[in-house]
Structure 1
Amino acid sequence: MRIFAPLVGLLLLSAVSAVAQEQPTVDCQNAVTQADMNICAGQDYDRADAELNKVYKQAVAATQAMDKELGEIDAAYVGANEALKKAQRAWIGYRDGQCELAGFEARGGSMEPMLVSGCLAELTRKRTTELKQLLEPSGN
């Protein structure tokens, strides 16, 4: 009996995990129902977040290189990477709070997830643009 309970739990966890991974197929160009619009807004945010993560990794590498180069001149000049991390942590807090606030326009309603995801996507794209500017050579 003792072996049976964990085995049942593992099977249930596997079944729930498989169902959770299934994403409904939605034509986001022709989304009509609120549920479809919520899914599409979530997918839009996921794409924006993936791009942000890619650019952030590049920004981390760039600030690490900057710190290394400046550190060879004077150790007091090092800190770009830490400043980037500090800014990113602060931005995440701002983004999450601002988008939670955006959801209050339809608090508890079926439209709330779309509003929150739309806000997350918009702010994430703006942050990605900011990080890309960090990667551009000075003087451009």
Structure 2
Amino acid sequence: MPDFRLGFAAAVLLISALAALAQDGAPTLDCGKATAQPDLNDCAYRDYEAADADLNAEYRKALVKARVLDGEYDGQPVAVDALKSAQRAWIGYRDGQCVLAGLQARGGQAEAMLVSGCLAELTRSRTQELREFAEREG
């Protein structure tokens, strides 16, 4: 079975590089009015970047909560280890699922937009799960 993660990582890096190039000296892109596919791709990637930043903030809060829980149980890192394991597994799921989502436009200009849109959607969902864990009583 081929390892799609390498291709996925390359695609995300390419999208990021193209987004950065598009921003250098270019007028600010209004994603609410974007109609050209390269602009739509860039906007979808920006949406994912924002969702990822939110996820990272919530993950840090969840780690704090996990450390508190572990401290309540003789300092054994069960909660921290479980959270890290779950996050690694989720990343693998997210990446594979979003490669599948992009295949609707395989090789086409919209593939990057579909992948980024999937990344943003799944990331927002995971962010909510982490938020609920961090805010849970006990």
1:138 Cα offset (Å): 2.7
Misfit runs of 4+, over 3 Å: none
- Shift in alpha-carbon separation, 1:62–1:21, aligned structure 2, 3 A: farther
Please state if 1:29 is matched with 2:32. Answer: yes
1:112 Cα offset (Å): 0.3
Matches within 5 A, 1:108-123: 108-123=107-122
- What whole-Å deviation, never above 9, does each CA across 1:74-117 have from its counterpart, x for those lacking one? x5xx4000000000000000000000010000000000000000
AA aligned opposite 2:41: N
In structure 1, runs of 5+ residues without a counterpart are 1-16
AA aligned opposite 1:37: L
Please state if 1:55 is matched with 2:54. Answer: no
AA aligned opposite 2:52: D
AA aligned opposite 2:50: R
- What is the CA RMSD across the aligned residues, in angstroms? 1.8
SS of the residue aligned with 1:32? Answer: coil
SS of the residue aligned with 1:71? Answer: coil
AA aligned opposite 1:126: S
SS of the residue aligned with 2:74? Answer: helix
- What whole-Å deviation, never above 9, does each CA across 1:49-95 have from its counterpart, x for those lacking one? 000000001111110111012216xx5xx400000000000000000
Please state if 1:65 is matched with 2:68. Answer: yes
AA aligned opposite 1:69: E
User: C-alpha separation between the residues in 1 aligned to 2:80 and 2:126?
Assistant: 17
Larger Rg: 1
Query: Which residue does 2:49 correspond to in 1?
Result: 46
AA aligned opposite 1:90: A
1:129 Cα offset (Å): 0.3
1:21 Cα offset (Å): 6.3
- Shift in alpha-carbon separation, 1:124–1:68, aligned structure 2, 3 A: same
